[in-house]
Amino acid sequence: MGQLAGRPGSTFRPGSMLPTFLPITVYRPMLVGLDKPLILQRLRTETQPYHRALEQNEFNRALAAGNITEAIAARFLAKLYGFLRPYEARLRQHAFSPAWQPERRQRAHLIEQDLPAAAHLPECADMPELRTWPQLLGALYVLEGSTLGGQVITRQLAKAGIPTRTYFTGSAEHTGPLWKSFCQLLAAEATPDNEAEIVQSAIQTFQKLHAWIELR
Ligand SMILES: C=CC1=C(C)/C(=C/C2=NC(=C\c3[nH]c(/C=C4\NC(=O)C(C)=C4C=C)c(C)c3CCC(=O)O)/C(CCC(=O)O)=C2C)NC1=O
């Protein structure tokens, strides 16, 4: 190993099958085994406990147990609406470039089709801080990510004969592409300087949404 020590950019790793004549950074994505941007890995890992806690809500549990009812679905949608309204109002105040397709990321209006009385529902008063760009990015991660369950939920609600599923059908065939483009745009915005704030905001968004959903 000694003979490599002086070579610029070389890193000797005992037991490694990698040639040692290239900077190790070249291989990093392969070594990690994922070409996921670091910010997404961090978000997934560091929000996991809060994500898990939120998933213990009545609606998710009923879906998992196969005993979902229209009343449980309606309660969940009402709560989601009360959170999405103030969140989306804040999104509308931000000047997104067209690449973000900001109008496609507004979904509260879909719930109005499921719940005719939506306009009179209470709104969450204890929202995450959504003032800075990194804070918005963290909250977007949580609420864009939440659309990923839509197709599965739609099928389960249909099977249970529950008609209130416009929200979950949502952007339907656009869900995958919207999530992909969000991940790319997020990765382009994340820097070593703002990553911690993005992650902290995602954690806060999970916590505030959870507290609001559990509030009776
Ligand atoms: C309760 C709110 C609630 C929120 C706010 C929420 C947030 C996120 N859900 C994510 C992914 C998924 N979510 C579901 C299922 C449900 N999503 C829902 O909103 C409801 C209600 C579901 C199921 C009942 C599915 C099948 C996936 C894909 C497969 C997976 O990742 O496990 C991600 C992305 C994670 C990453 O890739 O970095 C985030 C941020 N999840 C919640 O349950």
Which pLDDT tens digit goes with each residue over 136-186? Answer: 999 999 999 999 999 999 999 999 999 988 999 987 889 999 999 999 999
Q: What residue's CA is closest to ligand 1, atom 19?
A: 146
> Pocket around ligand 1: residues whose beta carbon is below 6 Å from it?
40, 43-44, 54-55, 57, 59-60, 63, 141-142, 145-146, 148-149, 152-153, 209
User: What are the residue ranges spanned by the domains of the chain?
Assistant: 21-214
pLDDT band at 36, cuts 50/70/90? confident
Q: Whose CA is nearest to atom 22 of ligand 1?
A: 149
Output the pTM of the full model: 0.85
Complex ipTM: 0.90
**What's the CATH class of domain 21-214?**
mainly alpha
- pLDDT at residue 170, rounded to an integer: 83
**Residue 47 near residue 142, CB atoms below 8 Å:** yes
